[in-house]
């Protein structure tokens, strides 16, 4: 539990402890929180996975993961000595009740500290693990269970998972994690909107022309080909990450900065989204699949080659024109775009304001560009407000767009915690603000499903785009039909 110094005593059990998520994100995040002094001396970390593994071998695996994935210069031998002592390992088959009896012997069951069950496993195991935890009496009031996305592959499977987990753990003990919500800039959306008198009065259809949200990756599917080929970009990125960002941009001010007040407003946005059915998918969506090309100066194969399925029709790129049917946002399109093997890794939100209603500067019509607010989520987290300014010097009035730039790295010079660092500590604190509630997850699926059904009904294959480009030309056509352009074209 928390003490006045801000450190925490807890037991965390990581199911799937030898997997990619655990080694790449969870263990480094916990190490960095230990280095920051946020773990009490008796806090413990138990890795659980199917294969038998000696304690020393698991600790060596953790050390290799830290060496590979910690920021440069973050590894400290003294912290490692302390952290290593926290690490233990249990060979556990999620289907075997006797293995949960072994887990019960390891856990401290007096609720003197928080117990966290982190399910870093495939979603099909969420229900079985929770059932076994309940049968073993390990669903204590001080326990919390963390579910990684995706929560299902459609509405029916999401409901089934939520029902299975909810039969064992009440909603307040369930933390559905979306690491995008732990990013510093994403949280600053709340501060930007509701702690400044400048923006909220103009945050509506009368002043904002449209909103662009881009999550671009320059990598391919890497080791996730098996999962990704059953999922695709719409399920993998739009249903969770991009819709959560849309909710934070579009929601009404909550009555208080409290978890359910915030999540109530996010749910209203999801419920107000215009459904895109079979008749609309051709004009309001584009899906693509990358073919061989070059990224960062190196040749890369096409998606079908990477997953070794020449006939695959899985999309690696998607654009959706989303519309919110309420008074604040009627007529303001939200262009959601995500893809793999794009020219650069970049996640950003662009709030494009309307042009000035009347231009008083003669001969400057070509130079005056409407203001826009750019919120950079990664890399180089920050916020830029692009405004018109006079170019210094004599010879008449010349105008040019210039940014007012807030760089988090320059302004707040301390290292910014990774999203998983923050979210893991929020689980321990019992703060669900940055986690998805059950009704949010299911509402997001209700919006995404008609798009998937429309694509299936049309039977069109994804449009190919060359790796290293910004997606198929149809993505440019979709926004340019509305007289707009993508942000990278405005740089």
Strands 143-148 and 298-300, bridge-based pairing: unpaired
The tokens describing 167, both together, are 């039969």
Catalytic residue positions, numbered: 241
Q: Which run of H or of E encompasses 100?
A: helix 97-106
- Residue 402: exposure state from Cβ atoms within 10 A (0-12, 13-18, ≥19): middle
Q: How many residues does the chain have?
A: 491
Query: What is the rounded CA–CA span in Å between residue 282 and residue 269?
Result: 24
Omega of the bond prior to 68 within 30 degrees of 0, cis? no
Helix, coil or strand: residue 466:
strand
Residue 226 backbone phi and psi in degrees, to 5: -60, -45
What torsion, rounded to 10 degrees, do the Cα atoms 57, 30, 214, 251 define? 140
Q: Which tokens sit at 46?
A: 């138990």
Cβ–Cβ under 8 Å, residues 193 and 203: yes
Q: Residue 471: which of 309, 241, 308, 303 has the closest Cα?
A: 303
What distances in angstroms separate CA 313 from CA 211, 285, 341, 455, 462, one per listed residue?
29, 16, 16, 11, 6
C-alpha 479/C-alpha 490 separation (Å) is 13
User: Using N-to-C axis directions, what is the helix angle for 419-429 and 27-35, rounded to 10°?
Assistant: 80
**Crossing angle (nearest 10°) for helices 155-166 and 126-135:** 10
**Residue entry with tokens 């290593």:** 84
Please tell me the number of Cα atoms within 13 Å of 34 on its side-chain side. 27
Give CA angle at 244 (447, 431), nearest 5°.
125
Return the number of other C-beta atoms located less than 10 Å from residue 261's C-beta. Answer: 13
DSSP type of residue 344: S
Structure tokens at 143: 């326990």
Secondary structure tally for the chain: helices H, strands E: 18, 17
List the structure tokens of 322.
């989303």
Q: In angstroms, rounded to a whole number, what is the distance separating the alpha carbons of residues 202 and 207?
A: 6
How many Å is the Cα radius of gyration of the chain?
24
């Amino acid at each position: 539990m928390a003490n006045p110094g801000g450190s925490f005593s807890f037991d965390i059990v990581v199911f799937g402890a030898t997997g990619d998520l655990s080694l790449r994100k969870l263990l480094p995040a916990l190490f960095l929180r230990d280095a920051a002094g946020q773990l009490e001396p008796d806090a413990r970390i138990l890795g659980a996975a199917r294969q038998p593994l000696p304690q020393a071998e698991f600790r060596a695996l953790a050390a290799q993961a830290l060496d590979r994935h910690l920021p440069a210069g973050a590894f400290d031998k003294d912290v490692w000595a302390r952290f290593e002592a926290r690490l233990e390992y249990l060979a556990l088959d999620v289907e075997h009740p006797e293995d949960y009896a072994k887990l019960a012997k390891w856990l401290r069951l007096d609720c003197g500290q928080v117990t966290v069950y982190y399910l870093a496993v495939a979603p099909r195991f969420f229900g079985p693990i929770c059932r076994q935890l309940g049968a073993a009496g390990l669903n204590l009031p001080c326990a919390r269970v963390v579910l990684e996305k995706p929560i299902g592959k459609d509405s029916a499977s999401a409901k089934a998972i939520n029902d299975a987990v909810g039969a064992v753990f009440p909603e307040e003990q369930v933390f559905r994690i979306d690491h995008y919500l732990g990013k510093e800039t994403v949280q600053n959306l709340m501060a930007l909107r509701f702690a400044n008198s400048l923006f909220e009065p103009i945050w509506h259809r009368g002043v904002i022309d449209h909103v662009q949200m881009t999550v671009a990756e320059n990598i391919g599917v890497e080791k996730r080909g098996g999962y990704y080929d059953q999922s695709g970009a719409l399920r993998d990125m739009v249903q969770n990450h991009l819709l959560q960002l849309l909710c934070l941009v579009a929601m009404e001010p909550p009555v208080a900065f409290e978890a359910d007040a915030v999540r109530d407003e996010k749910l209203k946005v999801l419920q107000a989204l215009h459904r895109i059915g079979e008749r609309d998918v051709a004009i309001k969506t584009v899906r693509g699949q990358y073919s061989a090309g070059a990224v960062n100066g190196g040749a890369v194969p096409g998606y079908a080659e990477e997953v070794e399925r020449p006939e695959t029709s899985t999309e690696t790129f998607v654009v959706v024109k989303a519309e919110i049917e309420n008074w604040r946002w009627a007529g303001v399109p939200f262009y959601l775009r995500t893809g793999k093997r794009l020219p650069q890794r970049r996640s950003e939100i662009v709030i494009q304001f309307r042009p000035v209603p009347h231009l008083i500067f003669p001969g400057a019509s070509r130079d005056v560009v409407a203001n826009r607010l750019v919120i950079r989520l990664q890399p180089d987290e920050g916020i830029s407000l692009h405004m018109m300014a006079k170019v210094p010097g004599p010879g008449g009035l010349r105008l040019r767009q210039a940014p007012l730039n807030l760089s988090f790295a320059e302004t707040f010079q301390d290292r910014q915690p990774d999203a998983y660092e923050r979210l893991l500590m929020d689980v321990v604190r019992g703060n669900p603000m940055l986690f998805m509630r059950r009704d949010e997850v299911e509402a997001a699926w209700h919006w995404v499903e008609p798009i998937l059904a429309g694509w299936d009904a049309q039977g069109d294959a994804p449009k190919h785009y060359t790796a290293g480009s910004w997606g198929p030309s149809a993505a440019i056509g979709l926004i340019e039909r509305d007289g707009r352009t993508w942000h990278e074209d405005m740089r």
